[in-house]
Amino acid sequence: MPAVQNLSGDDLIVVTGGAGFIGSNIALHLAEAGERVVVCDFFRSGEKWRNVAGAWLYDIVRPNELPKWLARHRDKVNAIVHMAAISSTTEKDVDKFVEANIRLTLDLWNWCVTHAVRLIYASSAATYGDGKAGFSDEQSRAALAALRPLNAYGWSKHVVDRRVVDDVTCGRATPPQWAGLKFFNVYGPNETHKSVMQSLVSKIFPVVKAGEVVTLFKSHDPRYADGGQLRDFTYVKDCVAVVSWLLGHPETSGLFNVGTGTPRSFLDLVGVVGAVVGCAPNIRFIDTPDELRAQYQYFTCADITKLRRAGFHHPFYSLEDGVRDYLGQLS
């Protein structure tokens, strides 16, 4: 995995959502690399604390205390890796998205501008909507204006991307380095606390292992067979590798897709899990719920040309290798 460079021994890296899925994997990697990591997150009464239990952390901050903490440590913070968000695509309270996904991110953007601190934040492939406008991470106003997210989650991420690109396009002040990462269908360790928002890999592993029936959504689009819906399934270690590489290349800024660039079907995924477990999965197809059908993505595929052109040449995990590595840790 690419090593972090250009940080001094006194630099702090703040990881918001640092006990969550992607955030905890980033925090663990950076701490293992010897960086001084500050995790900002709510732990509440669940088991999320276990996600960072093995990390040597500099500090832990509650999100509501982050502004005061940043004010006290502003001269030591080198970068903020902002992974905190409401990621539920079925959340109905749009104000929650505004507060957690839009307002917090733009507040951190403004703080990083003022204090010359680098900012890497999580965007999402959900900004691309049904994919009719393509999956290019071009960061022009026109390209972003053509995107139509299908749900409030995708919209909230899109609002931030458009504001950031507008600042860049208009020549307004920006952080010394910034990156918005459009993550595609991520799976991997430390996601079990996400409940219904876990990846399909995590959900079906115990089902397949127990020899029970795996349920998949039927296709309601004649272009796709049942189970033939396509996703760019991305192993979380690849997300960590991109963040680590960016921290080591402060000259690189922009919106970047983070995905394999290879779409695979849900049937492929179930088959791979079955192959790792050592049994043939039993599959039953059910109707996609009405409340999800209008915002369902049938195809996602990251165009990673821009990321490669920027100099990130680290190979992405194939679905087979990623699932095997992940399930090896769960077994």
Catalytic residues: 153, 194
Radius of gyration of the chain (CA): 19
- Hey, how many other C-beta atoms are within 10 angstroms of the C-beta on 212? 12
Closest CA to 151 of 88, 68, 220: 88
Task: Tell me if 135 sits within 8 A of 301, measured CB to CB.
Answer: yes
> CA 26, 29, 35, 40: dihedral to nearest 10 degrees?
30
Mapped onto helix, strand or coil, the DSSP state of residue 283 is strand
Helix (H, G, I), strand (E, B) or coil at 83: coil
> What dihedral do alpha carbons 187, 161, 103, 176 form, nearest 10°?
100
Q: What is the per-residue DSSP string for 138-181?
A: --SHHHHHT---SSHHHHHHHHHHHHHHHHHHTT----SSEEEE
Q: Are 151 and 130 in contact (CB under 8 A)?
A: no
Q: Is 53 exposed, middle or buried (0-12, 13-18, 19+ CB in 10 A)?
A: exposed
Contact 5, 248 (CB under 8 A): yes
Backbone angles phi, psi at 315, to 5 degrees: -70, 140
Which residues sit opposite 188 in a β-bridge?
none
Which residues lie below 8 Å from residue 290, measured CB to CB, with a gap of 6+? none
Residue with tokens 């127990």: 210
